[in-house]
Each structure stands twice: as C-alpha cells, then as structure tokens.
Amino acid sequence: MGTLQRRADGSWQASGDPGLPALVGVWRPRIVVGPAFDQQFSAREQALILQHERSHRRHGDHWANGALLLVRTVFWFHPLLPWAARRFLRDQELACDARTIASQPALRGLYASTLLKAQLVHPVAPAVCHWRSQPVLKERIAMLKQSRRKALPWVSGQVLVVGVCVGMGAVAWASQGSAVAGPVAAAVDREIQVDKMPPPSYPKSAVEQRQVGVVDLRVEVDAQGQPTDVRVLRATNPGVFDAVSIAAARSWTYRPAMRKGKPVAGAVKIPITFAMDDTEDAQ
C-alpha cells in the first residue's frame, strides 16, 4: 500500500492500491482508501463506502478474518476449507451490506452503482475486509433489490414465542396441584382426613380388556367436610378410570383441615390404583 496519510474523515490514504478501500489490520484496524479515492467516488459514494467499512470494524469482522486466516493456516490440507472460507466471507459482506443500507433504503441504487464502480482488479491481502469483492458482486447487488423484512413474520414469531411461554407457565402451574391449598395448607394444625373411602367400581370395559392404571385426584374440601371440587391431575390410562374415580371421591366422608382449633377449607391429593388379580377382581 505504500505510505499512509491520515485523512480528515478518519480514514487513511495509501499511495498504492492493492484492492482498496478496505479495513486493514487486526490489532489496530484502519480504514484505508486508494490514492484515487476522491477522484473515483463522489462525496455520497465515499460516505457509503466508509460507513460500510466502519460497520465491519464495529462488528469485529477484522477479528473474524484473522481467526479464519489462522484456521486456514493450521488446516490447509482440509478439502472443504476453501469452500467454507468463501461462504464465510460471502455472508460477512452480505450482512455488512444489509446493516449499511438498513437505515437508508432510498440509497440502494447508489450503493449498487458504487459497488460496480469499484471492480476488484488487484490482488489483496487475505485478512482484510474489502469493499470490493468481485466473486460475490452479483449476489450483493441482487440482495440489494430485495425489500426490507416484513413485519408480519416477525410478529408471528413473537406471538409464537409468547404462546409457548404461556403454555409452559400453565403446565408449571397445573403441576403444582400436588401442593395442598397453598398458604392454608402450610399453616394448618391438622391435614384433611378421609374417614370412609368405599372403593370405586371397576369399569366393565376395563375388566374385559384387563386394563390397569393409576389416577391422581385433587379433592377440595370445605370447612364442613364436604367435597366441593374433584379433578384429575394425572392418569396413566386417561379416560378409562377418570369418571369412576371422581364419583367415588365425591361419595367419601372427609374431616376438614384444622387451623388454630377451627375447621378450614383445603385440598388433598389422593392416588387411586386400579389393578387386577388372577380372578379379575378389582382392587
């Protein structure tokens, strides 16, 4: 590049042109332009080029290119590395183009014409971020023709994420059914007791098919010892034993929980096991 001179815009001007403009260096990266930079590009074109190279520097692309050069040095023998390196640099330039033009979409045409004016005609160093990249020039210009990302897919994605979070929260809340009536249960002197538990009837269809299973119930009991709500928390054979389990729980006799010597409402979790012996009797 020859001798470098500092420019008023913060970039450096070289006396030679090995594929400039480019972001050069890893430890102290500098934006370096060629000797004919002012003559070749207008003021608006120069601003776009410098904005592009500043985006490279701001996002650490010079560090990424340095790491890529190290990988290519160590794994020089790998047959897929040249292809992977080309794809890496291609995506890097496309991403930088998108960042540069995102805030000023009206300048897409000027940006594309500036790319065309800067055809790469000289060999360049392997670890720098070049404004001119002839192998992907056609693709870069084609990408500039695409409209900005529509809001609908983004909104749909956000709605999906929120829906998943709400669903997971609902599952987590439902799984807390094994806890007994929250703060009431934690402070009671005596838990809910069941005095009489006549076993549920074994469904005829389950007997015929020799089905077994376990049903976990959550029974809410008021201060008078009456079951106010019975629900199934979990069933190993859903739909087979649910109805008979709920009916049985509603017929049981309960003693309410006690707190400070007074009966209080609460809830209790009761598992019911449906099994069959060799004579097909319900247990």
Residue 41 has pLDDT above 60, yes or no: yes
Residue 137 confidence (pLDDT): 67
Nearest CA to 103 among 30, 41, 52, 62?
52
Residue 87 confidence (pLDDT): 86
Q: Say which range, 21-25, 75-79, 128-132, 187-191, has the weakest mean pLDDT.
A: 128-132
CA distance 48 to 141: 14
Residue 73 confidence (pLDDT): 92
Q: What is the mean pLDDT of residues 115-131?
A: 57
Q: What is the mean pLDDT of residues 257-266?
A: 90
Residue 158 confidence (pLDDT): 67
Task: Give the containing element (helix H, strand E) for 9.
Answer: none
Q: How confident is the model at residue 121 (pLDDT cuts 50, 70, 90)?
A: very low
Residue 101 confidence (pLDDT): 83
The string of pLDDT tens digits covering residues 77-100 is 999 988 998 888 888 888 888 888
**3 state SS of 27:** coil
Domain locations in the chain?
4-144, 150-177, 179-274
The domain made up of 179-274 has a fold known as TolA/TonB C-terminal domain (3.30.2420)
**Gyration radius (Cα) of the chain, Å:** 37
Instruction: Burial-class residue 111 by CB neighbours within 10 Å (0-12, 13-18, 19+).
Output: buried
Residue 234 has pLDDT above 70, yes or no: yes
The string of pLDDT tens digits covering residues 179-208 is 444 444 456 788 898 888 888 989 988 888
